[in-house]
Amino acid sequence: MKAAEVMNPNVVYATLPSTRDKILSLFKDHGISAVPVVKDGKVVGIVTRKDILRKIEENQLALLMTPNPVTVEPDTDIREVVGILTSTPFRRLPVVRNGELVGIITVRDLIKKIAEMEIQKSVRDYIYPSIVCVWNQTPLNVVGEIMRLSNSEICGVLDDSNNLVGIIDEKVMLTETLIDEFIEQTTYSSSSDVDDNWSWSGLRDVTFKYFEVSVVKLPKDPVKKFMKSPEFVYPQTSVSKCAKKMVTKDIDHMPVLDSMNRVAGLVRDKDLIKVLLEEKI
């Protein structure tokens, strides 16, 4: 299997020069969190929502983007693609031909392919045996701090009987509403000499380490108001069935329950795509 068989050829991209506001509009209009950056027809960078949060005072795309991103070609073997994605922090790779952008391949694209392949192998070998859980009445800002301290990408949400009743993840934390509010407030504050709670220095202690310098100020309402429905699999669930659930429910990390319906761990998407290194494809 080659990258061309998995990649999305309809790539949303930005061109230089451009600004933060234009990039945010692209993210919002297309429901995405990153775009390749092109200049004179060639891929020169990639910019993500996190890049904007890390450099909230910067407006120019050339200074926001990560230059010279790792790329693959349409005929790159999918095993090489998986190898890159599982050994780096990257979640997407531009696909280029002679330096020109022809597609993009993401971890989610690979999960979709696995969902189509009807792989019957169980997820047992891909379980990460640890997951942070919180009570459903825990304030969201406290959940954020728990995620920061534990470097967690997802939290299970439990009720009084220790049943899994929901999940909370980065997509919930970094909603467009919270980000837009933060950017507007920060832009306003930066034009003043007053250092209030929305200023950069004032927010450094309310950040997620996992998001590197994620700076949204989270509400104090109970996490149950924000959590997603409690999706899960069992250790004997097939790889493809787990992948289908991830795609359908738009989650990157699937909680695993044991035979007594207790939370036993996680299946992370980057671990699950390793099955492509083992299958005959």
Instruction: Dump pLDDT digits (tens) for 177-223.
Output: 555 655 665 554 443 333 333 333 333 333 333 343 344 567 889 99
Q: Residue 46: which CATH number?
A: 3.10.580.10
Pair 137, 67 in one domain: no
In a domain, 133, yes or no: yes
Pair 158, 233 in one domain: yes
Pair 218, 130 in one domain: yes
Buried residues in 168-194 as b, exposed as e (16+ CB within 10 A)? bbbebbbeeebbeebbebbeebeeeee
**Would you tell me the crossing angle of helices 107-117 and 78-87 to the nearest 10 degrees?**
130
Pair 216, 97 in one domain: no
In a domain, 160, yes or no: yes
Pair 251, 170 in one domain: yes
pLDDT at site 163:
95
pLDDT at site 278:
85
Report the alpha-carbon distance of residue 240 to residue 123 in Å, rounded: 9
- Domain range for 27 is 3-117
Pair 102, 158 in one domain: no
Q: What would the two tokens of residue 244 be?
A: 């289908």
pLDDT at site 208:
36
Can you list the alpha helix ranges (DSSP code H) found in 126-275? 140-150, 170-173, 176-190, 200-203, 239-249, 269-272
pLDDT at site 203:
34
pLDDT at site 40:
92
The secondary element (H helix, E strand) that includes residue 30 is helix 20-30
Please name the amino acid found at residue 143.
Answer: V
Pair 103, 143 in one domain: no
pLDDT at site 77:
96
Number of domains in the chain: 2
**Would you tell me the crossing angle of helices 20-30 and 176-190 to the nearest 10 degrees?**
170
pLDDT under 70: residue ranges of the chain: 174-217, 280-281
Report the alpha-carbon distance of residue 20 to residue 39 in Å, rounded: 16
pLDDT at site 173:
72
pLDDT at site 189:
47
Q: Which residues contact 31 (CB under 8 A, 6 or more apart)?
A: none
In a domain, 134, yes or no: yes
Report the alpha-carbon distance of residue 157 to residue 135 in Å, rounded: 6
Pair 31, 136 in one domain: no
Q: Beta-strand (E) ranges in the chain?
A: 14-15, 34-39, 42-48, 66-67, 92-97, 100-106, 127-128, 132-135, 154-158, 164-169, 253-257, 263-268
pLDDT at site 180:
60
In a domain, 193, yes or no: no
pLDDT at site 56:
74
